């Protein structure tokens, strides 16, 4: 067979991005949105996860998937790789923390710097791998020991490419901003400083970007409620084309980890100038609406204002006041009781309207990680929700709907938060599962949200409610940002946008700019900074993939026009491709933030469970696959897997429609919602996986008792969950150190040591080589690997 470099490019060759798999193979995600192209381990030996390549389809593999051959690596995506420094048979290597990168990085003499064996380091790649040589690199940063406080976060931000250091220009611009509202800032603003607006957030929140006020009014002859939702006016300080805006666009969202937040904007803005702290003047954008007793918005207006927060409340305190009018908190905040009562009365109206509208609600358990000073888990406990949480959510929903309606009526381009209808494939699977449970989903081929809402009411009191709810939830699509308004299926809104969190979400900042431009009767067209790379990653399937394909094409077309020196098109729809690219970028970075957060939580849970090896727990089946059962421990709220080989000597058939594994000989069935007794048998910290062994079944008791909460689909209340976090979760002396003056002249000659990679990996898997600090837990025999439970739900 000829080498790939000798192959002549064909018109059928396709450009795409490599997506690696921890088992050694991979795929190319074509830019044209076509079917993913399988890459064998041999082909993956020449590339790394994230690389841009030209690939040629040679045929199909044994599973019928198109199989390709790499023609050319167009762009190497990994300049720096994070991993652990190991000694393999006398040769120094760095084993990447990102298991999608299947290459160990060879460290040549003098390339080690000050790093010690077992430490987590960042490695700059000097030579990239091919079929005959492995990658070569040098240590450029020592992050510390794997057990250091906050190390899991340091790994995650680098592993997923989350920007975590602000540019010098952005910090300089932030430092130049005033510490308080200036007199000249008040020009053209409505003065709301005499209105007792209050903020209501979690006890651990550190920034406050929304405040509310409610009072009864007469709208003509109709009794109604005036709801004021004031949102921090970030757009007044973050201007298009400035370094702060470039940083905001690059990040697109704040990233929340246990005990730490990677903010979208510097703290001078997020926790200071734009945080609606009590008893200080703050600039804001206001949605001032009138809602009748049927929950219908009769009128609304948007305007810039200045406010003075009268009180900072927590959810728990508000709920204590509302639920016990004679309690100590009610006595303490007597002057605010009428305001809170008005808000609660309006909430009940909006909740009733929500039910009539047919919005879908899911009941599930949200957990929070309680950590010690070193960042390690003390316990995991359910996060209790009350009507104070839902009260604020309904206020934010009202403001977001008004914003979408305002933009839509003024026919201005912007980003909508879109949640599409379930796909035919997922709908068919859902109906099959419901049929086996004696249920059905109304609505025919195109069920409406109210049909789902009706189904949720029917399953609410069933013993297998948790299982059925899980199946319904998985049938839903993922919400995304896009300029085309296609409504929000889960919330049953014809138009929906994000207006309420510009401190933490770039789409909200764009919405503020659009609303201001409409008020000023000036069109707003965003400009894409050339120095800010857009994240146009293609999702696996769905409308998001189509949007990403179009965004990539429009970006390529724009570059071609610029290269030719031609004029860019003008007109009403000339800005549409730019809005499309922004939508894909913000959606992709949102997914990236979620993945990074899940990775850290998985690491913490694995570290926590190392102390529970050999212990037995009751658990509930939360997922079924052909290779085993996913189990969540009922008291610890930790999820792991029982591999199918642990279920006994029987052969188990996987029934997707019933979501069960059934033994051919014994007839034993394991379904979603079944309760089992399991033993913690293995913890793999590197792979973020926990493995259980089956002790005995507690019977198919579906559901089980748990604290529940009402979960809005796709967390689209417009108000993300705020998790308090200190700026640093590790001591100063443990901060990453960057070595200087490393001599790597021998690096390229050392690259010829390659071709040992696969052998060293095999020896490590078989326990033949020492891995300082790398092995975690007590291996329980040679079992098949446990699939990542979080990745399964992407």
pLDDT per residue as tens digits for the range 34-73 = 889 999 999 999 999 999 999 999 888 888 889 999 999 9
Question: 127, 135 in Cβ contact below 8 A?
Answer: yes
Residue 205: band (very low, low, confident or very high) from pLDDT cuts 50, 70, 90: confident
Return phi, psi of residue 609, to 5°.
Answer: -80, -10
For 536-557, give the DSSP string: -PPPSSSHHHHHHHHHHHHHHH
At what angle are helices 168-176 and 243-251 packed, to 10 degrees?
120
Q: What is the pLDDT of residue 11?
A: 55
Listed in sequence order, the residues at least 6 apart from 405 whose beta carbon sits closer than 8 Å to its beta carbon are 300, 495
For tokens 């051959």, the residue is: 69
**How many whole angstroms separate alpha carbon 87 and alpha carbon 268?**
44
Q: Which residue has the tokens 């490393």?
A: 742
Cα 144–149–152 angle (5° rounding)? 75
pLDDT band at 370 (very low <50, low <70, confident <90, very high): confident
C-alpha distances in Å from residue 204, one per residue of 312, 490, 556? 12, 29, 44
Q: Is 213:228 a contact under the CB 8 Å cutoff?
A: yes
Q: What pLDDT, on the 0 to 100 scale, is given for residue 723?
A: 46
Please check the confidence at residue 138 and state whether its pLDDT lies above 70: yes
436 pLDDT band (50/70/90 cuts)? confident
Radius of gyration of the chain (CA): 28
Q: Do strands 198-201 and 311-314 pair parallel, antiparallel, or not at all (unpaired)?
A: parallel
- pLDDT of 120 > 80? The answer is yes
Partners of residue 249 on adjacent β-strands: none
pLDDT tops 70 at residue 539: yes
Q: What is the mean pLDDT of residues 346-373?
A: 87
pLDDT tens figures, 77-102: 999 999 999 999 889 999 999 989 98
For residues 513 and 358, give the distance between their C-alpha atoms in angstroms, rounded to a whole number: 32
**Full DSSP string of 150-180:** THHHHHHHHHTT---S--HHHHHHHHHS-SS
H or E element, residue 201: strand 198-201
Instruction: Count the helix, strand and coil residues of the chain and give each as a percent rounded to the nearest 5.
Output: 30, 25, 40
Look at residue 746 and tell me whether its pLDDT is greater than 70. Answer: no
Quote the pLDDT of residue 319.
96
Provide the token pair at 306. Answer: 């200045």
Cα(208)–Cα(314) distance, rounded to whole angstroms? 11
Distance CA 244, CA 240 (A): 9
- Return the percentage of the chain with pLDDT > 70, whole number: 85
State the DSSP string of 7-19: SPP-TT-EEEEEE
Give the pLDDT score at 73: 93
**Comparing 279 with 558, which gets the higher pLDDT?**
279
Least confident of 116-130, 136-150, 285-299, 710-724: 710-724
Identify which has the larger pLDDT, 226 or 376: 226
For 123, the token pair is: 């490695």
Q: What is the pLDDT of residue 466?
A: 73
What tens digit of pLDDT does each residue of 244-261 get? 999 999 999 999 998 889
Does the pLDDT at position 787 exceed 60?
A: no
Using DSSP, state whether 230 is helix, strand or coil: strand
Q: Residues 360-386: what's their mean pLDDT?
A: 82
Q: Is the dihedral of CA 504, 505, 511, 514 positive or negative?
A: positive
pLDDT grade for 495, boundaries at 50, 70 and 90: very high
* Mean pLDDT on 630-643: 90
pLDDT at residue 715 above 50?
A: no
The helix/strand/coil state of 124 is strand
DSSP state of 412: -
Q: pLDDT-derived band of residue 18, with 50, 70 and 90 as boundaries?
A: very high
Are 510 and 216 contacting, i.e. CB atoms less than 8 angstroms apart? no
Average pLDDT over residues 177-206: 93
Q: What mean pLDDT is predicted for residues 490-505?
A: 96
Q: What is the pLDDT of residues 405-427, one digit of tens each?
A: 999 999 999 999 999 999 888 88
Nearest to 250 by CA among 507, 533, 552: 533
Of 204-208, 234-238, 316-320, 600-604, give the lowest mean pLDDT range: 204-208
pLDDT of residue 461: 82
Mean pLDDT of 525-551: 89
Rounded CA separation 780/547 (Å) = 45
CA–CA distances in Å: residue 226 to residues 22, 291, 313, 398, 709: 55, 6, 20, 12, 28
Q: Which whole-number Å values give the CA distances from 455 to 252, 265, 345, 439, 462, in the listed order?
A: 36, 42, 28, 8, 12
Q: What's the pLDDT at 759?
A: 42
Query: Residues 440-446: what's their mean pLDDT?
Result: 88
Q: Does the pLDDT value for residue 718 go beyond 70?
A: no
- As a whole number, the mean pLDDT across the chain is 85
Residue 453 has pLDDT above 50, yes or no: yes
For range 436-445, the mean pLDDT: 86
Q: What is the pTM of this model?
A: 0.86
User: According to the model, what pLDDT value does residue 572 have?
Assistant: 58
Give the residue-averaged pLDDT of 358-371. 82
- Decide if pLDDT at 751 tops 90: no
Residue 533 burial (CB count, 10 A): 9
- Of 192 and 637, which is predicted with more confidence? 192
Instruction: Tell me the sheet residues that pair with 287.
Output: 229, 302
**Residue 401 predicted with pLDDT over 90:** yes
Average pLDDT (146-166) is 92
- The predicted-structure confidence for 755-785, as pLDDT tens digits, reads as follows 444 444 544 544 444 444 443 333 333 333 3
Predicted pLDDT at 8: 47
Above 50 in pLDDT, residue 747? no
Q: Is the pLDDT reported for residue 285 higher than 50?
A: yes
Residue 756 confidence (pLDDT)? 44
Return left, alpha or beta for 294; rule: phi > 0 is left, psi -120 to 50 is alpha, else beta: alpha
How far is it between the farthest Cα atoms of the chain?
86
pLDDT, residue 764, reads 52
**Is 774 or 173 the better-scoring residue by pLDDT?**
173
pLDDT digits (tens, 9 = 90+) for 290-324: 999 999 999 999 999 999 999 999 999 999 999 99
For 672-692, write each residue's pLDDT tens digit: 888 899 999 999 988 889 999
For range 357-377, the mean pLDDT: 82
């Amino acid at each position: 067979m000829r080498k790939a470099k000798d192959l002549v490019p064909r018109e059928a060759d396709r450009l795409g991005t490599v997506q690696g798999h921890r088992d050694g193979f991979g795929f190319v995600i074509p830019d044209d949105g076509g079917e993913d192209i399988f890459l064998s381990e041999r082909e993956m030996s020449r590339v790394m996860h994230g690389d841009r390549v030209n690939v040629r389809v040679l045929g199909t593999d044994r599973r019928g998937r198109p199989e390709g051959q790499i023609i050319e690596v167009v762009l190497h995506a990994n300049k720096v790789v994070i991993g652990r420094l190991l000694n393999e048979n006398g040769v120094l290597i760095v084993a990447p923390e990102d298991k999608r990168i299947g290459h160990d990085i060879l460290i040549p003499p003098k390339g080690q710097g000050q790093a010690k064996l077992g430490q987590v380091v960042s490695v700059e790649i000097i030579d990239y791998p091919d079929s005959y040589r492995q990658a070569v690199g040098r240590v450029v940063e020592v992050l510390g020991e794997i057990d250091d406080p906050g190390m899991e976060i340091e790994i995650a931000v680098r592993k997923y490419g989350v920007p975590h250091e602000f540019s010098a220009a952005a910090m300089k611009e932030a430092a130049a901003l005033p510490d308080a509202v200036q007199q000249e800032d008040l020009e053209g603003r409505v003065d709301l400083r005499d209105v007792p607006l209050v903020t209501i957030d979690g006890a651990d929140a550190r920034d406050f970007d929304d405040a509310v006020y409610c009072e009864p009014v007469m709208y003509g002859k109709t009794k109604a409620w005036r709801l004021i939702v004031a949102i921090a006016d970030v757009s007044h300080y973050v201007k298009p084309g400035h370094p702060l805006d470039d940083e905001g666009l690059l990040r697109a969202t704040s990233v929340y980890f246990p005990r730490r937040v990677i903010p979208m904007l510097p703290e001078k803005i997020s926790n200071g100038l734009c945080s609606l702290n009590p008893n200080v003047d703050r600039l804001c954008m206001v949605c001032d609406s009138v809602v009748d007793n049927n929950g219908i918005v009769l009128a609304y207006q948007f305007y810039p204002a200045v406010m003075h927060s009268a009180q900072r409340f927590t959810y728990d305190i508000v709920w204590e006041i509302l639920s016990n009018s004679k309690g100590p908190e009610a006595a303490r905040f007597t002057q605010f009781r009428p305001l809170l009562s008005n808000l609660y009365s309006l909430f009940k109206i909006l909740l009733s309207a929500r039910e009539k509208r047919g919005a879908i609600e899911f009941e599930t358990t949200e957990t929070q990680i309680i950590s010690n000073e070193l960042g390690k888990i003390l316990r995991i406990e359910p996060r209790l929700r009350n009507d104070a949480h839902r009260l604020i959510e309904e206020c934010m929903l009202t403001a977001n709907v008004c914003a979408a309606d305002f933009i839509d009526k003024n026919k201005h381009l912007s980003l909508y938060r879109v949640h599409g209808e379930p796909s035919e494939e997922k709908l068919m699977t859902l109906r099959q599962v419901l049929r086996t449970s004696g249920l059905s989903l109304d609505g025919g081929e195109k069920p409406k949200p109210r049909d789902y809402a009706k189904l949720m009411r029917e399953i609410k009191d069933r013993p297998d409610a948790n299982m059925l709810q899980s199946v319904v939830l998985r049938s839903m699509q993922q919400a995304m940002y896009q300029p085309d308004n296609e409504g929000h299926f889960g919330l049953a809104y014809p138009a929906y946008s994000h207006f309420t969190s510009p401190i933490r979400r770039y789409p909200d900042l764009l919405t503020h700019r659009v609303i201001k431009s409409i008020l000023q009767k000036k069109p707003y067209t965003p400009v894409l900074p050339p120095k800010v790379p857009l994240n146009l990653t293609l999702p696996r399937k769905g409308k998001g993939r189509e949007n990403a394909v179009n965004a990539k094409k429009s970006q390529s077309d724009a570059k071609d026009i610029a290269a030719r020196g031609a004029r860019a098109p003008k007109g009403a729809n000339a800005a549409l491709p730019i809005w499309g690219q922004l939508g894909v970028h913000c959606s992709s970075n949102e997914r990236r933030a979620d993945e990074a957060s899940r990775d850290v939580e998985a690491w913490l849970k694995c570290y926590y469970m190392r102390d529970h090896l050999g212990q037995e727990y009751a658990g509930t089946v939360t997922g079924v696959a052909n290779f085993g059962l996913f189990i969540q421990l009922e008291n610890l709220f930790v999820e792991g897997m029982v591999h199918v080989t642990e279920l006994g000597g029987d052969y188990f058939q996987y029934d997707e429609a019933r979501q069960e594994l059934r033994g051919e000989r014994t007839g034993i069935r394991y379904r979603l919602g079944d309760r089992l007794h399991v033993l913690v048998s293995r913890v793999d910290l590197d792979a973020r996986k926990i493995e259980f062994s089956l002790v005995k079944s507690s019977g198919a008791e579906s559901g089980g008792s748990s604290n529940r909460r009402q979960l809005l689909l796709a967390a689209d209340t417009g108000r993300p969950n705020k998790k308090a976090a200190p700026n640093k979760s590790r001591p100063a002396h443990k901060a990453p150190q960057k070595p200087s003056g490393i001599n790597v002249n021998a690096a390229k000659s050392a690259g010829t040591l390659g071709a040992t990679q696969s052998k060293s990996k095999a020896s490590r898997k078989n326990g033949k080589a020492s891995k300082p600090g790398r092995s975690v837990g007590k291996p329980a025999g040679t079992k098949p690997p446990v699939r990542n439970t979080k990745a399964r739900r992407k």
